[in-house]
Amino acid sequence: DGGITQSPKYLFRKEGQNVTLSCEQNLNHDAMYWYRQDPGQGLRLIYYSQIVNDFQKGDIAEGYSVSREKKESFPLTVTSAQKNPTAFYLCASRNKQTGVDQPQHFGDGTRLSIL
**114: helix, strand or coil:** strand
- Give the range of 12-20, 39-47, 66-74, 75-83 binding other proteins by CB under 8 A: 39-47
Rounded least distance, CB 4 to other proteins, Å: 8
Q: What is the DSSP string of 19-74?
A: EEEEEEE-S--SEEEEEEE-TT---EEEEEEEETTEEEE-TT-TTEEE--SBTTB-
Angle at CA 85, nearest 5°, toward 35 and 76? 50
Among 19, 29, 32, 48, binds other proteins (CB under 8 A): 48
Does residue 71 touch other proteins according to CB under 8 A?
A: no
| The one segment of 14-22, 36-44, 61-69, 77-85 that binds other proteins by CB under 8 A | 36-44
Opening angle at CA 42, ends 41 and 47, nearest 5: 120
Q: How far is CA 49 from CA 56, 77, 104, 115, in A?
A: 6, 15, 13, 30
Do the beta carbons of residue 68 and residue 49 sit within 8 Å? yes
Instruction: Please give the residues from 85 up to 114 whose contact with other proteins meets the rule CB under 8 A.
Output: 90, 92, 94, 96, 101, 103-109, 111
> Can you tell me which of 41, 51, 86, 114 binds other proteins, judged by CB under 8 A?
41
CB of 72 to other proteins, least distance (A): 17
Residues binding other proteins (CB under 8 A): 4, 6, 31, 33, 35, 40-45, 48, 50, 58, 90, 92, 94, 96, 101, 103-109, 111
